[in-house]
Amino acid sequence: MVSVLLMQRRLRNLTINKLVVILLLTAAAFNEFLVYTFQSFRWQSIPLDRDPGEEMVILLISDPQLIGIQDEIGFPVGMLARWDSDSFLRKTFSRVYEHTRPDVIIFLGDIMDEGSKATDAEYQSYVERFDSIFYEKVYTKTIVVPGDNDIGGEGSDFRTQFKVSRFEKHFENLTGVVSHKFVDFLKLDNRRSHDMIIETKQLIHNMASRLKAPYRFIVNHESMIAKPKGSIYPVSQMGFEIFLKNKLTLT
């Protein structure tokens, strides 16, 4: 009788242990894989059959902030944190890209968390991680603008020519016009912390001859709506003069 009771107890404990293991594995599988698919069912449907002359899907990505090395806990916690964060970004972006099939991808800054203070070796590793996480961008027109985490410019983290040059070497110029189909994308690098009226006016003048498309979008890391008058004035005034002179539309 005692042996039977012991056997039943062992079976019951074994069943409970199995149940706990199954629940843990199910939770891990759901959070690592299934949750991304389930969430995508809630997204608005976007037609993939589009008129290239009149329709364009633009995918905006802001502040991915790839986790750095200097500010994280050492091995193995830091390595696991970077892997987990990169995995989340990779899976999310992959599903968003598949769902939208964008014509243009725009990264709106803060690509890295420690890009401004990274060593050259660290910076190179961040660029490689960025390319690996968002690898679908090689098939699509892509625009990348920097944020303060990439080149400095916030608080005591000053922007320097070295940081700017390093970003432009690995990505693209801070300013300029990128044209795609019927849209011109203007990169003005308009910053809240600098009163650069003359420089911005000259930049817009230099861009004017390159503006050919009927629609224009200004892409910038910082919000321009919250900027002081001194920063946004040359864009709103000088820009409109040029756009109206060329009989084109500012959007």
CATH tag, 52-173: 3.60.21.10
pTM over 0.75: yes
End-to-end CA distance of the chain: 85
Contact yes or no for 64/110 (Cβ under 8 A): yes
Query: Beta strands of the chain (E only): which ranges?
Result: 58-61, 104-108, 141-145, 176-180, 183-187, 215-219
Domain ranges of the chain: 52-173, 175-251
Closest to 39 (Cα-Cα) out of 94, 102, 103, 106: 94
What is 49-111 written as a DSSP string?
A: S--TTT---EEEE----B--STTS--TTHHHHHHHHHHHHHHHHHHHHHHHH--SEEEEES--
Listed as ranges, residues in the chain with pLDDT below 50 are 2, 244, 246-251
The alpha carbon of residue 193 and the mean position of all alpha carbons in its chain are separated, in whole angstroms, by 22
pLDDT digits (tens, 9 = 90+) for 42-57: 898 998 899 999 999 9
pLDDT one-digit tens code per residue, 117-147: 999 999 999 999 999 999 999 999 999 999 9
